Amino acid sequence: MPPAPDAVAETDMPAKAVISRVWTQYLKQYRSPLLLALICATVVVLATTLVTGWLAIAVNLLFHAKLDDNTRKLPQFFRDHPLIVVPGVIVIATLIRFAAQRGLTVSLNNIGNQMVGRIQSQLFSRLVRADLGRLQTAHSGEYLSSVLYDADLVREAASTGVVQYVQAALTVLGSLVIMFYWDWSMALAVLLIGPLIGAVMDRYLAATRRAAKGAMAETSSLSTAIMESLDGVKIIKISNRETAEEARVGSVIDRRQTHLIKGANARTMAAPATEMLTGLLIAGLLAYAGWRAQSGHMTSGALFSFMIALGTASQALRQLAGLQGTFSQGMTAGRRLFIALDIRPEIVDAPGAVALAPDFKAVTFEHASFAYGAAAVLRDVSFTAHAGETVALVGPSGSGKSTLLNLLPRFFDLSQGQIRFDDLDYRDVPLNSLRSRIALVTQDPFLFDDTIRANIAYGNEGASEAEIEQAARDAAAFDFITALPQGFDTRAGEAGSRLSGGQKQRIAIARAFLKNAPLLLLDEATSALDTQSEIQVQAALERLMKNRTTFVVAHRLSTVRHADQILVLSEGEIVERGTHDSLIRQGGLYARLAETQFESQARSA
Ligand SMILES: Nc1ncnc2c1ncn2[C@@H]1O[C@H](COP(=O)(O)OP(=O)(O)OP(=O)(O)O)[C@@H](O)[C@H]1O
Ligand SMILES: [Mg+2]
């Protein structure tokens, strides 16, 4: 999925490993339907070969040509009624071929689509369980393209491709048998010249493979570019950048097109080149065959059948060559898939982890440090929050306030130090238990495109109607919800697009009320709401913070005033701590921040 850091690994995984994993993980369980598909494919080939071989006899029978040994061996009935027997055999063979082809297609479709579904579910499951740190390093478009396209490319190669390959190879074999049967010397000539044609095709196919790889990389860039344009549609419009975006996405489309065209050209060039060579071969064969026929060594029927077999074989050979492209695409996609599937989250339950008691007495940060990769964001943070207290985090933008909140639910793991619930290291608590004790209201609350009821109950699916309504009342959201045309059944729209900022916040607060967790993480919105919603949101938050241990990134004067402890962060370090009054008296960073940040609020309050 995330291509940049894995680019090396991608070329590292040997083809054999990819194939054996595809087999054991996705195909082995479909052994029987796969075998059925192969049997059907064989029947198709046998029927085709039978018809081709039969043509020699048919021509000889119909045109009363000189009967050769084979024709003479036929039952009398065959020789007496050629007009019934000749088409009859072909009709029967064709019907059998039709039935087998149908069986083949149906079983392949079943295997293939179930396989795609399984890969997609696995990919999504990795995605939704991945560490936040990893998700943030790759663009969502890459995940999307992997889930949507790579799975399908693997299917194409692994099920359809393999069976088609076997079918084409058998067809070549069957045709060769017929050719050798009717005239071995001519067949031998074909066999000697064949590899020459193969070499020509191979040159074009190498180009096809290169192009396929390039096209796949651009497919992922394309989905990234499109998703980005959709996410940023407002900023694109306000900046009048539609034309520029068209050009940007256009250039990705162009690059992808270039690869696709190169690939298609190489593929289609392979066909005329081989056709030309085949044409020359046929001319030579006809000259030779004419000579053989005149000297009585070959019947016209045998020549006819030989030529048809040659045509069938060369078509099957072309198909075999074309499948190389399918296989190499499937291989690239398979590597990308397995790399994505192999990424295991690092933030997992410790062995022997014990559930967190809801009535812990204190949360302690001890020399806690954190870095995004190499960039240190929090340094040596130590403090204790007693149960029921409110700890306000204040500091300039980018000082690490939101990061500190993200550590508590273990969205990220500390690089050094400890976070403890009483005496228990929080890494010795199962993630489920830890997260069930924490309610989170973020700076920009996220709503699912579902009903408001479902959004409030998200994570508390067992909540009763009355509990949901009470949570909405506590969050000062009940009135606006019931005023909506469908009340609690109103859909929030994609990412809550049909609600105002203040309404979304209150729904997020209602969600936190319903969760009723002892620990509350609150990232106050930096953007001021209008006074009316501000007062409502503020009152709701105060109710929510009551009797809970709260970590709040504070942008409001009223929040910090009520806090038991204020931690002032600057560049990832706690530079001051205390209550509002004591910090104001100190006259340091907090006092300066308070002056600029809270001044206007103080005036309007
Ligand atoms: N995913 C990330 N990868 C790398 N660096 C990050 C990431 N998220 C944040 N940072 C960096 O970490 C630092 C702290 O960011 P954080 O979001 O904690 O700031 P903040 O104090 O909450 O700021 P604000 O008040 O603007 O919300 C910033 O310098 C930011 O650039
Ligand atoms: Mg923040």
Please indicate, yes or no, if residue 93 is contained in any of the structural domains.
yes
Residue 205 scores a pLDDT above 80: no
128 C-alpha to center of ligand 1: Å? 22
pTM of the model: 0.77
pLDDT, tens digit, 9 for 90 and up, residues 302-343: 888 888 898 898 888 888 878 888 888 898 889 888 888 888
Q: Is residue 108 part of a domain?
A: yes
Give the residue from 170, 431, 422, 478 showing the smallest Cα distance to 313. 170
Are 48 and 164 within one domain? yes
Length of the chain in residues, anyone?
605
Pairwise CA distance, residues 414 & 427, whole Å = 10
Domain end among 516, 543, 564:
516
Helices (H), 130-241: 132-137, 140-145, 151-155, 162-182, 184-231, 233-238
Each residue's pLDDT tens digit, 548-582: 999 999 887 778 888 999 999 999 999 999 999 99
Label residue 58 exposed, middle or buried (CB < 10 Å: 0-12, 13-18, 19+). buried
394 shares its domain with 253: no
Residue 233 carries which side chain, given as an amino acid letter?
A: V
How many CB atoms neighbour CB 115 within 10 A? 22
Output the residue whose Cα is nearest ligand 1's atom 5: 372
CATH code, 234: 1.20.1560.10
Ligand with the closest atom to the CA of 442: 2
With cut-offs at 50, 70 and 90, classify the pLDDT of residue 64.
low
Q: What is the mean pLDDT of residues 4-15?
A: 56
Distance CA 503, CA 445 (A): 10
Say if residue 336 is in the same domain as residue 460.
Answer: no
Cα dihedral 560/434/343/214 (nearest 10): -40
Q: Are residues 258 and 321 in the same domain?
A: yes
Q: Does 483 contact ligand 1 (Cβ within 6 A)?
A: no
User: Domain check: are 202 and 257 in the same one?
Assistant: yes
**Distance of CA 1 from the midpoint of ligand 2 (Å):** 28
Question: Which residues are close to ligand 2, an ion, with C-beta < 5 A?
Answer: 402
Residues 327 and 296 in one domain: yes
DSSP codes joined into one string, 305-370: HHHHHHHHHHHHHHHHHHHHHHHHHHHHHHHHHHHHHHPPPSS-PPTT--PPPTT--EEEEEEEEE
Kindly state the average pLDDT of the residues 221-239. 84
What average pLDDT does range 403-424 have in this prediction? 93
| Selection from 508, 65, 474, 541 nearest residue 303 by Cα | 65
Does 402 contact ligand 1 (Cβ within 6 A)? yes
> Relative to the alpha carbon of 398, which ligand is closest?
1
Q: Is residue 563 part of a domain?
A: yes
Which residue segment(s) compose the domain that 391 sits in? 387-414+429-437+519-605
Atom 16 of ligand 1, nearest CA residue: 400
pLDDT in tens, 270-282: 777 777 877 888 8
Ligand 1 atom 29: the closest Cα is on which residue?
A: 398
In a domain, 477, yes or no: yes
Distance CA(213)–CA(217), nearest Å, equals: 7
Residue 377 lies in a domain: no
Q: Quote the CA–CA distance of 175 and 310 in Å, as a whole number.
A: 7
Average pLDDT for residues 358-379, to the nearest whole number?
91
Query: Are 194 and 78 members of one domain?
Result: yes
Amino acid of residue 70: N
In tens, the pLDDT along 559-568 reads 888 899 999 9
Q: What is the pLDDT of residue 70?
A: 66
400 Cβ below 6 A of ligand 1: yes
CB atoms within 10 A of CB 17: 13
The pLDDT score that the predictor gives to residue 494 is 67
Protein residue whose Cα sits closest to atom 17 of ligand 1: 402
Tally of domains in the chain: 3
Q: Are the beta carbons of 496 and 446 closer than 8 angstroms?
A: yes
Phi, psi of 393 (to 5 degrees): -105, 125
Domain containing 406 — which CATH number?
3.40.50.300
**Residue 303 counted as domain residue:** yes
At 171, is the pLDDT very low, low, confident or very high (cuts 50, 70, 90)?
very high
Report the range of poorest mean pLDDT among 416-425, 428-437, 498-507: 498-507
pLDDT of residue 10: 46
Q: In what order do the strands lie in the sheet with 565-570?
A: 438-441, 519-523, 549-553, 390-394, 565-570, 573-578
Q: What token pair was written down for 102?
A: 């149908």
Closest residue by Cα to residue 498 from 423, 454, 447, 460: 447
Asked whether residue 404 falls in the same domain as residue 328, the answer is: no
- pLDDT of 11 reads 55
How large is the average pLDDT for residues 278-288? 84
Residue 435 has pLDDT above 90, yes or no: yes
Q: Which of 136, 370, 402, 521 to mutate to test the pocket of ligand 1 (most atoms within 8 A of CB)?
A: 402
> CA-CA distances (angstroms) from residue 62 to 85, 275, 302?
10, 31, 13
Q: Looking at residue 250, what is its pLDDT? A: 93
Q: What is the crossing angle of helices 31-62 and 82-129, to 10°?
A: 160
Lowest pLDDT segment from 36-50, 279-293, 350-364, 561-575: 279-293
Distance of CA 404 to the CA centre of its chain: 31
Are 481 and 542 in the same domain?
no
Q: Chain-wide mean pLDDT for the chain?
A: 86
Within a domain: 124: yes
Is there a single domain that holds both residue 328 and residue 474? no
- When comparing pLDDT for 604 and 593, which is higher? 593
Q: Are residues 524 and 405 in the same domain?
A: yes
Give the domain-ending residue among 284, 316, 341: 341
Of 470, 498, 516, the position where a domain reaches its end is 516
Residue 359 lies in a domain: no
d(CA 381, CA 378): 7
- Whether residues 509 and 551 fall in one domain: no
pLDDT at 600: 61
Ligand 1 atom with minimal separation from the 555 CA: 25
